[in-house]
């Protein structure tokens, strides 16, 4: 039986809202059973919460999802996609046929976990503990940068509340007093492989939430009146709010309600038929909840002319210093924002803070939340630059990976890379970051050797799509290139070149300077070396590499990084693809470094000028 009804709206009574909740449950069961996979029981538990939200509180124009005045809804528990897609059907933006015949099917947009291929989805979710962190960034943008009153609603599962990133997010929501932020925890007691850590101890959740500076509202998640009152209170503009809703996994279907072993399993067709009957049959309700205010067009000012810092050839300047100065200059562009993880005085991100404090966000030592906040800001149209030590950026790898799934555009900078940093020791040495960032889908990876190049590449990242990464070094090194030199992404420089080169030395960052010094040592022995500055690691300048392979026949690659996944593998992959097979020696950090001076550590790692020259002599004399 299909029940027909007029559209529901903010004035609908709770009996009508209950009918909508039942429809969401029925459609969650139908869709997952039709697909043969999915998470219906996780959807059933949150249906009442979402029915009240979308009918009475979510200010959203389903026909104009790009209206910047509208609220945001994020399913941090992305596995509950049957519920989200059932909501889309209730909103009339997808059809019943699409829900039933395309969910989780190859090449279709209703994927197993939601992605922004759907215009009503801001971000890809499904890696648990991330949606709530993104919500903080979106809320920061709305309040601090746009002065808008939209709200950010995020549905969380209770299992993901053990993720540390959840508490980083709530800490920042509390610290910043994000009254436009509401998290709803679906406390349904059961996780993937048994009961959750706290099960139905909602008071424990509340105490933890309040300890992080947020308001906790504990409710029965199936009491529609209590849900409505909690959502009303959350929107009162006084505090960041977490609604702790006790629910039943599989609510409404006796055969699976509060039964272990049903996570991520569709109901078999016969059981699904009984479930639909128990839930009152199919319905065809349509929802049009409260609308956002009309958005007045905002005039777009002409793009300012950015004056990048200039450096004199021969002066010693750290690339991290050049990055900071260039970032501050880029701040003249109103869409550029900067985020710091409490190391801005080392990374020089603080230069941006001094110039543009209103667009600088101090996230403190919470690298996952820093990247998540950057992603949230990007959702609102800003171009974020997030910076910390290269070693610590690896903590946020999953957030970076998922940002690529969301097709987010943002710039990351990792400073203090490699053994070059010296006495601080291996805990501070970024030796894996190039591999991590090269592996990210659609990423751009840049590694300047001098200040002029660093400033130019910092500016280039403001116009690059996708995720871009700039690797900078701690120490000061001579400026090699004159102001105004161009550094196209995907290019390289060849500071040493002749018609009779016997070997090619390839470096980036600190090892370029070592390669140049090694070339001088080789010249004293009568060996002429070509030197390539591979400042663009991804994409890489294959044409220049192939020419060097053909003309010299021998390459020495030196990098301040582990041999796996860095500069060397980028070069070798490019050459192999092009069918070039020169003699190659790859020098990289293979042992476990310790403390010492920069020169001592470079030599111990086998990437000093003396070690590069030794390897080149062996190849040249082959």
Q: Is 168 a catalytic residue?
A: no
Sign of CA pseudo-dihedral 235, 236, 237, 242: negative
Which single residue is written with the structure tokens 């989780």? 104
For residue 349, the Cα-to-chain-centroid distance in whole angstroms is: 19
CA-based end-to-end distance of the chain: 83
Neighbouring CB atoms inside 10 A of 582's CB total: 18
DSSP track, 413-456: EEESBSGGG-TT-GGG-B-SHHHHHHTSTT-EEE--SSHHHHHH
Task: Name the catalytic one among 350, 367, 559, 569.
Answer: 367
Identify whether the C-beta of residue 469 lies closer than 8 Å to the C-beta of residue 317. Answer: no
Q: Using the CB atoms, write b or e for 153-176: b if 16+ within 10 Å.
A: bbbbbbbbbebebbbbbbbbbbbb
- Of all residues in the chain, what percent are helix, strand and coil, respectively (each to 5)? 40, 15, 40
Neighbouring CB atoms inside 10 A of 358's CB total: 9
The overall longest dimension of the chain from CA atoms, in Å, is: 91
Identify whether the C-beta of residue 105 lies closer than 8 Å to the C-beta of residue 341. Answer: no
99, 102, 103: which is closest to 91 by C-alpha? 99
Instruction: Look up residue 201 and give its two tokens.
Output: 């101890």
Neighbouring CB atoms inside 10 A of 414's CB total: 26
420, 507, 413: which is closest to 457 by C-alpha? 413
For residues 372 and 457, give the distance between their C-alpha atoms in angstroms, rounded to a whole number.
Answer: 23
What kind and span of H or E run contains 278?
A: helix 269-278
| Catalytic annotation, residues | 367
């Amino acid at each position: 039986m299909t029940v027909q009804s007029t559209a529901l709206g903010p004035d609908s009574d709770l009996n009508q809202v209950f009918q909508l909740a039942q429809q969401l449950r029925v459609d969650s069961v139908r869709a997952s059973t039709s697909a043969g996979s999915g998470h219906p029981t996780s959807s059933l538990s949150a249906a009442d919460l979402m029915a009240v939200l979308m009918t009475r509180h979510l200010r959203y124009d389903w026909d104009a999802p790009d209206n910047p005045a509208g609220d945001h809804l994020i399913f941090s528990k992305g596995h509950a996609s049957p519920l989200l897609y059932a909501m889309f059907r209730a909103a009339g933006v997808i059809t019943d046929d699409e829900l039933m015949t395309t969910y989780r099917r190859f090449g279709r947009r209703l994927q197993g976990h939601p992605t922004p291929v759907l215009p009503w989805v801001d971000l890809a979710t499904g890696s648990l503990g991330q949606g709530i962190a993104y919500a903080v960034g979106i809320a920061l943008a709305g309040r601090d940068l746009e002065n808008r009153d939209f709200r950010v609603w995020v549905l969380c599962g209770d299992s993901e509340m053990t993720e540390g990133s959840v508490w980083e997010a709530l800490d920042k929501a509390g610290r910043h007093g994000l009254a436009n932020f509401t998290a709803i925890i679906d406390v349904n007691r059961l996780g993937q492989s048994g009961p959750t850590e706290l099960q139905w101890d909602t008071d424990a959740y509340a105490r933890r939430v309040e300890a992080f500076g947020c308001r906790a509202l504990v409710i029965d998640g199936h009491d529609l009146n209590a849900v409505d009152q909690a959502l009303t209170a959350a929107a009162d503009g006084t505090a960041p709010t977490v609604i702790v809703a006790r629910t039943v996994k599989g609510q409404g279907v006796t055969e699976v309600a509060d039964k272990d072993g049903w996570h991520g399993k569709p109901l078999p067709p016969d059981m699904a038929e009984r479930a639909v009957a128990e839930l009152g049959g199919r319905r065809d309700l349509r929802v049009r909840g409260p609308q956002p205010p009309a958005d007045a067009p905002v005039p777009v000012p002409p793009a300012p002319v950015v004056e990048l810092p200039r450096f004199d050839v021969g002066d010693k300047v750290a690339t991290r210093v050049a990055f900071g100065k260039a970032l501050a200059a880029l701040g003249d562009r109103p869409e550029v924002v900067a985020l710091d993880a409490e190391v801005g005085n080392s990374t020089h991100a603080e230069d941006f803070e001094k110039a543009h404090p209103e667009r600088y966000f101090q996230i403190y030592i919470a690298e996952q939340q820093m990247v998540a906040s950057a992603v949230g800001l990007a959702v609102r149209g800003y171009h974020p630059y997030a910076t910390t030590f290269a070693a610590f950026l690896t903590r946020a790898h999953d957030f970076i990976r998922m940002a690529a799934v969301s097709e987010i555009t943002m710039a990351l900078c990792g400073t203090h890379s490699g053994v070059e940093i010296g006495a601080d020791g291996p805990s501070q040495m970024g030796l894996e970051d190039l591999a991590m960032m090269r592996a990210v889908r659609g990423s751009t990876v840049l590694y300047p050797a001098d200040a002029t190049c660093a400033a130019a590449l910092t500016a280039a990242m403001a116009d690059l799509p996708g995720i871009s990464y700039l690797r900078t070094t701690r120490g000061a090194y001579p400026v090699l290139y004159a102001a105004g030199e161009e550094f196209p992404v995907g290019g390289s420089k060849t500071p040493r070149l002749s018609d009779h080169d016997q070997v090619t030395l390839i470096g980036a960052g600190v090892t370029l300077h070592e390669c140049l010094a090694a070339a001088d040592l080789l010249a004293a022995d009568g060996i002429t070396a070509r030197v390539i500055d591979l400042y663009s690691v991804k994409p890489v300048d294959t044409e220049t590499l192939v020419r060097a392979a053909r003309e010299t026949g021998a390459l020495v690659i030196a990098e301040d990084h582990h041999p796996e996944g860095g500069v060397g593998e980028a070069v070798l992959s490019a050459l192999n693809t092009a069918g070039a097979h020169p003699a190659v020696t790859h020098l990289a950090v293979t042992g476990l470094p310790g403390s010492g001076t920069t020169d001592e550590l470079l030599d111990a790692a086998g990437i000093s000028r003396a070690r590069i020259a030794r390897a080149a002599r062996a190849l040249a004399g082959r």
